[in-house]
Structure 1
């Protein structure tokens, strides 16, 4: 079987877990307990690691055509298969709790995958292939027929029940493989429920009723959100994706649904992105504030303060688990061949051990953005966090680190890290009147100005005519586009104008993509949207809008972005759906609406 392209997958979410379903109807990724948990279907990373196929027999042959789309403002995916024998629709969703509405979405998700087959015309023979393989493919379950016509699969800590409305199922040795026919007007609903072998049993639901409830839950959620800016037809779906990547129990936003999808096919830059990065925090907050509502932003903020805890001498980690876990020790899955043979397959992310000097700047920028919502006087927990982060930057800003792109090579004095150290000190000075007697804005201002002078002196390369990626380096880095977004320098400053032009000329491509550096083989979507923002801030709004539309055109057919785009083939690369890519779209759209947005 030929492996589907990354862009072939649609995204399902219940705001606790997420699944990927291919155009031909195969669920090839699902971690049912939580986003960063263990997968029961992982064929995305290995052909024997489990899947749940549901589609026309012989799909992909002559005369087979697929159309798919989300129900508006939901992550309920409807795929229509047109075959020579007739047409059939398969609607897929991860179930919401019965009665859940608006901000209740995901708080008590039942852990049920719903798949509803509807005959549209003719008579189509359908194939079901249910091959569960818990623990990322390490376990082969026992399967048992149940009196009600469902099948129980159990192995290790996992129990799964697959049932169908009006269609008895029969267990094979380690899978369920059946065929059935669907005529026009006929509906067959499947539900796959997850539970624990030793805990709560899987929940039995009616698939049709639950599907209708899930659609209503998503629609009610989006009705509470408004977006008054440009490109609402792109912003609203991206906001829905961000909601789908939000772990509702804590408010944390997962960077992506997947692990180990490669930045380059056959390469080894394959990392686990199913966690929440503090570096992304300020950008995420901006996007949530623009396209969602203060409720999501405030819950995310509360998660950050609890996750960081009391600040000591050790650097604050850049990444946490979705409930605030620190230790994300990375290990390799040697039994999995990886997507497209890209090894290793990793679970966990050792970036939590790295020194990342930009983290406090992202957090304090978010505090500043939320200052009016947080009140004139901060509570003790918030005050201690802001003071602790500020003093940590004051003591460490001069040190090298691993940089925004989390290199696993030697530490360096990265430009973006120093700029975000300046951001931390600048926002602390502005927030000083809310921080009590321990605030020291005069000393902080001196340090802030020292950082600024150092960046302007050491980060600028006169020969190239641009700010470069690290002090003393001649290597361009698209992270320099972040300077005007943080308000370190206005985009109209001559040095910034020159940097923007050089980055666009040397790192940009004809189709609007921007690479992170000269040797990067792929366009990085977030950086591409940063260029849109920079052009808008320099007054080039028409060019910025044209670029925005070209970059947005790299989404797949249901509006999803991964992390990068291959420059030769246009194929999506990296973990998907990627929160930062959708965040970049939302923030760029609002910048085109209001170029002076702070």
Structure 2
């Protein structure tokens, strides 16, 4: 992944940009070969077979790919440019939306090829291409794309190609800028100083890493990389963090569990803030919470539900539609944009929002009057609705049920509201919140525990296991060494875990066709819960089992295919990296 903290690109190991959305994470893709062979790409690689290795330049998300050919070695450096002199907390705030590519022959002689095939709007547009001084302009739809290139490009239709031979010490610099097709200013027609902008982008990322990544403990490198990934998935102008950079990468090859994850979920909030506290700093925490508080603010006393997810600009209508012209990743259709889960009722979100507020403001405060009023409304709504069914954490698209996790997070809402009462100016409500908290506790202990299953289960009255029950000790409902918690952890480890040691979120029918892989987040949850139970060795093993499925540059997908071990699902997945950070910290604190 490349990121300018506003948008993202994905680059394959053979130097092809197969995914690029500009100017926002949720913009229509300019390159989408990830989802269809004909939906656009931009390759830069040697014309001959090569041995390939990749890495991020230290402390950055600037990608370096090394191609070792028989006649020489080519190094390709790729970056989404940060704005000039962006450093520290301003990282990504003024990014211009430019993809930079620099190919350097460091040894011998290498002939490279570049093929540039932009297809805006997920492949719907085949733009008209016009050679100009210093490059190429492509027009069509809502975009003008300006490619800066110091070599002639052969244009055929909506595809441009070039072949260049470089000798040791020579480099080829390319840049792509997207702008509105209706902007009053003409597109740039002269090359960028690509080498200088890459150096400045490297400096920007390193300044952020130096100022933010202070974690010391086991798996420092993995925690540091995960912190950078969370920053890379942040839409800097608002502080929103997207769940992933992609849409419609399936949970099983050929299946229909293909969702758009380029949005922000409230359910991720409290765990995200914990991860940011460990791997970043309070500025990112405050910005993320401030975004969610503004985006979700509504008159809850008027009977409204708290919406569960938002666009990166705070948008609420995320209506879902299919793109039938795309075949999907390995034929996994439909390809979807938007996500109709925004319409669902999920009563867990009240707890996640109040837990986040508690992490930030219990000991600091003060809160402005509107935020205090809103958070009191969140607590009152949780108290009023905790007995209602909902769609649950996993967004099951079917009838509502009484999910254990949803009740647990309503307990969290009451518990954190009590703790926040002095900051909220709500002392008169504490007795009622405490009473409701105890009622929820009793319901979970009596109806959430299933004697036949020997564990806390997915829903009241159900025998089905769910990895979400691992959160009972993680939110402080019960201690990690409580016998029922240990029994639940043992049951998940025995009955939801595959031969690789990875955890399924559940095995119950959920109304959707096809299977799904194991969830890396749930495996990190297992490691976290084991650490809280005092099982240091098993916790470390579960952590290693999950972390070993990062790719060659340390990025984690959502899931792993149980039959092949291949990463699947949207990529890279923020929740997987959040789970890694929090599990590493839990193991460190436990001394495991």
Q: Which TM-score band (shorter chain)?
A: over 0.9
Superposition RMSD in Å = 1.5
Mapped to 2, the partners of 1:92 and 1:417 lie a distance apart of: 43
Which residue among 141, 158, 167 is the counterpart of 1:156?
141
CA contact (8 A) 1:149 1:170 kept: no
1:136 and 1:172 map into 2 onto residues whose CA distance is: 20
Match of 1:588 in 2: 583
SS in structure 1 of the partner of residue 216 of structure 2: coil
> Does residue 494 in structure 1 map to residue 483 in structure 2?
yes
Query: Which residue of 77, 94, 97 corresponds with 2:83?
Result: 97
SS at match of 1:509: coil
Given candidates 106, 110, 114, the residue that maps to 2:100 is 114
The Cα offsets for residues 241-298 of structure 1, whole Å up to 9 and x where unpaired, read as 1110000000000000000000000000000000000000001000001100001000
Q: Call closer, same or farther: CA 1:516–1:182 in 2, change over 3 Å.
A: same
Residue 179 of structure 1 pairs with residue 158 of structure 2: no
Is 1:196 the counterpart of 2:191 in the alignment?
A: no
Deviation at 1:170, TM superposition (A): 4.4
What's the CA shift string for 1:20-42, capped at 9, x where partnerless?
00001110100011001111000
C-alpha contact 2:362 2:423 (8 A) present in aligned 1? no
Query: Would the aligned equivalents of 2:536 and 2:591 in 1 still touch at CA under 8 Å?
Result: no
Shift of 1:437: 4.9
Give the whole-Å Cα distance in 1 for the aligned partners of 2:84 and 2:516.
Answer: 46
Q: Distance in 2 between matches of 1:532 and 1:475?
A: 21
Residue of structure 2 in register with 1:522 after alignment: 517
Is the Cα–Cα contact under 8 Å of residues 362 and 420 in structure 2 kept in the other structure?
A: no
- Asked if 1:40 is matched to 2:40, the reply is no
Report the CA distance between 1:438 and its aligned residue. Answer: 7.2
Measured in 1, the distance between the counterparts of 2:532 and 2:65 equals 40
Q: 2 CA distance for matches of 1:437 and 1:274?
A: 36
- Relative to structure 1, is the Cα distance of residues 528 and 568 closer, same or farther in structure 2, using a 3 angstrom cutoff? same
**TM-score, structure 1 normalization:** 0.95
The alignment's TM-score, normalised by the length of structure 2, stands at: 0.96
Among residues 413, 425, 432, which one is paired with 2:421 in the alignment?
A: 432
Distance 1:206 1:103 in 2: 25
Which shifted more, 567-576 or 509-518? 509-518
* Contact 2:421-2:427 at 8 Å conserved across structures: no
**SS at 2:555's partner residue?**
coil
Q: Is the CA contact 1:195–1:201 (under 8 Å) kept in the aligned structure 2?
A: no
Distance of 2:186 and 2:394 partners within structure 1: 42
Give 3-state SS (helix, strand or coil) of 1:145's partner.
strand
**Aligned partner of 2:222 among 234, 242, 249:** 234
Write out aligned runs for 1:265-304 (5 A). Answer: 265-304=253-292
Q: Distance in 1 between matches of 2:407 and 2:192?
A: 53
Distance verdict in 2 for CA 1:201–1:294, change over 3 Å: farther
CA–CA distance in 1 between the matches of 2:440 and 2:545? 36
Other-structure match for 1:255: 243
Residues 81-103 of structure 1, C-alpha deviations (whole Å, 9 max, x = no match): 11222210110000011111111
The structural deviation recorded for 1:386 is 1.1
Structure 1 gaps of 5+ residues are 1-10
Cα gap change, 1:151 to 1:294, in 2 (>3 Å): same
- The yes-or-no answer on 1:215 pairing with 2:199 is no
- 1:374-422, CA deviations, whole angstroms, 9 ceiling, x for partnerless residues? 42x3211220121010111111111100010001111111010000010
Give the direction of change, closer, same or farther, for the CA distance of 1:470–1:201 in structure 2 (3 Å limit): farther
Corresponding residue for residue 560 of structure 2: 565
Kindly indicate whether residue 60 of structure 2 is the aligned counterpart of residue 70 of structure 1.
no
